[in-house]
Structures are given as structure tokens and as C-alpha cells.
Structure 1
Amino acid sequence: MAKSNETEQKGQHQDDGRRHSRFDLFGTATATIEGKKHKCAILNLSISGAAIVFDIDFGSSPKPGTRVDLDIEGIGAFNGYVARDLDEGIAVHLNVSEKKRDVLAAVIMRALNNIEPEDE
């Protein structure tokens, strides 16, 4: 099934069997994997995962199941694990509480609607 123009414009990935929709939201983050910190970029984000790419070449990607602590600039810190290897990086499944899911959902909606977050 092809993506609709509206879906493409909003940067949402069509349902491909994942539990939650992914959105093309680019940002920077720091991933801690096996005790080492690595600068990385977020390619897309959902309320339960992220696709990330690294500034360096690992030689071989971290294996599925490897713990990842991900600190996304301007959003917050999350922990999770490598879900799978991607051509350009890794997919990370985020272990998030209901509260953090709400935070991620709000961040995604603000970004898609070009709304600046309110100062707290």
C-alpha cells in the first residue's frame, strides 16, 4: 500500500508491522553502549523506539539485545536495547513508562505541528 501525500508530508512511516508509528524527527543524542558514550543522530522516533546513526564506524554494530542508554537532546534520557541492525545504524527499542510515552507523544506532535515547547 502506498503512502498518502499527507503521510509523506508529515514524515510518518506507513504501518509496517510495528506497534507504533515512526516519525522522521531529526536530532542529536548520546548513546551509551557497553559503557562507552557515542554521539549519534536520531533518524526517526516513535513512542517506543528510535532509529539512530553514529558519528563513528563501530566496525560491527552492537548485537540485538545489547543495552542502550539514550539521552536525546531536548527530550530526555531513556534506556532500551538494540532491536536490530540497520543499513546506516541501529534500531533501539525504548523501555518507557506511560509518563515518558506521553512526553514522547507530545514532543512528536509539537515537532510535526511546528510548535515550540512552552517554558516550564
Structure 2
Amino acid sequence: MLDKPGRLDRRKIKIAARGAQERRRHRRVELAMRGRFLAERAGEQPCRLIDVSPGGAKILAKAPPAPGTRVVLMIDGLGRIEGEVLRQGANWFSLRFQASQPKRDRLADAITWRFNMERLGLDEDRVASRRPGKGRATVKLRDGVMIQADVIDVSISGAAFACLERPRVGERVQVGEMHGNVARILENGFAVAFDPPESQRSTAQDTNSVAQAG
């Protein structure tokens, strides 16, 4: 029995949605963090992240292990992650993580938090340092007014803040080094959609040029 066109379309939509979710889950971000790795026969060595996702990472190291080598990676703030080397360069190697889905989900939260913490100028909550979306941020409104807000949730593309002030939807704001627009008003605050990375650099350069000209 053939599927009806409507049923087939809905199935395609579901498949596409799952694919988009998977791509977001494995999106790599630049995150320079120091750590150590333990490789077969090579012992323990210092290293530094170049970029990372819940599915794998690119690592800077003086003596990168060969493809196929089993590695245990230890990064402060991300924890202990096991994986297998896929590719090797003169001073780097790429690693595919071998972890359960719950651990990948926790790693995704930790990566997101670390990626945004410095850029948003957040003070990490030491009591709950492993829980993403905790901390205080200073939000600069378009008219120069600075407000303090609690971080409800944060992702690579945006963040939600809890505070009494309510900027208008579409208003430009700055949070730490990040620029963006107010995307929606929440019951207890508002959400911001950040500019893409290229736009962030352009905005920062324009700001520096204005400051130097002044």
C-alpha cells in the first residue's frame, strides 16, 4: 500500500527535523581550553582544545597520536571523555568521542556554557558550576542603559534573561562581547538572539573604530 502524499510529506518533515537536530547537536565551536590526554603507549601529555562538539574535538598537541589510537581526554570544566583518533597533523589530531547519549547531552550543555561564559561576561556560579544557564550578566541597551539580569538559559545562538526591565522586541542589545536583538518578551524577562560570528567581529571592529576616532 502506497503512502498518501500528505503522509509522505509529514514523514519527510519529521526526517528533516531529526537531521537538523542532529546537526545542531554535533555543531563544533571554537573553545580554547587546556587539558591533558592519555594515549596508548604514549602516556599522559598536555594539550589544548581547538574546537569541540558533543561528537568530537580537534586537539593541539606536541606529539599527536596516530589514527585509530584510543585516547582519554581530560579537560577542566568538560570532564573525562574517551574517544578514538580519526586524523593526525604535525601538531594536532581530531578525536571522535565514544560516549552514551546522556553523556553527550551533558557535554553539549557544558560546551555551550563554556563557549558563552566569557563572551557574555558572566560570573560563574561556583556552587552550581556544572549547571548551564546560571549566573549574572550585564545587558547594555541601545540608549546606553545598563541592567543586571539573571541568566535563565544560554545557547550558542541566543540567551534568555530574567529581570524587571523589558526592552522592546527587535531592540539592539550588548551582553559582554556579544551583540544581538531582543527576540521575544518572557513572563519574567526577555530573550536575545545573538548576531552570527562574522557579524560579531564586524560590530566589534566598528565599535573600536569609533572609540579610536573619538
Q: TM-score, normalised on structure 1?
A: 0.72
Query: CA-to-partner distance for each residue in 1:52-101, whole Å, 9 max, x for gaps?
Result: 111x3x3xx42211100111112110111101113530001111111211
Percent identity over paired residues: 32
1:31 aligns with 2:37: yes
Mapped to 2, the partners of 1:52 and 1:39 lie a distance apart of: 10
RMSD after superposition: 2.1
Counterparts of residues 80-91 of structure 1 (less than 5 Å): 80-86=83-89, 88-91=91-94
Counterparts of residues 1-120 of structure 1 (less than 5 Å): 20-35=26-41, 36-54=43-61, 56=62, 58=63, 61-86=64-89, 88-114=91-117, 115=122, 116=124, 119-120=127-128
Instruction: Tell me, yes or no, if the aligned pair for 1:110 and 1:117 is still in contact at 8 Å.
Output: no
Question: What amino acid sits opposite 2:88 in the alignment?
Answer: D
Mapped to 1, the partners of 2:87 and 2:95 lie a distance apart of: 7
SS in 1 for 2:31: coil
| Structure 1: unaligned runs, 5 residues or longer | 1-16
Q: How many residues align?
A: 99
Mapped to 2, the partners of 1:26 and 1:96 lie a distance apart of: 22
| Structure 2: unaligned runs, 5 residues or longer | 1-22, 129-214
Q: Which has the higher helix share?
A: 2
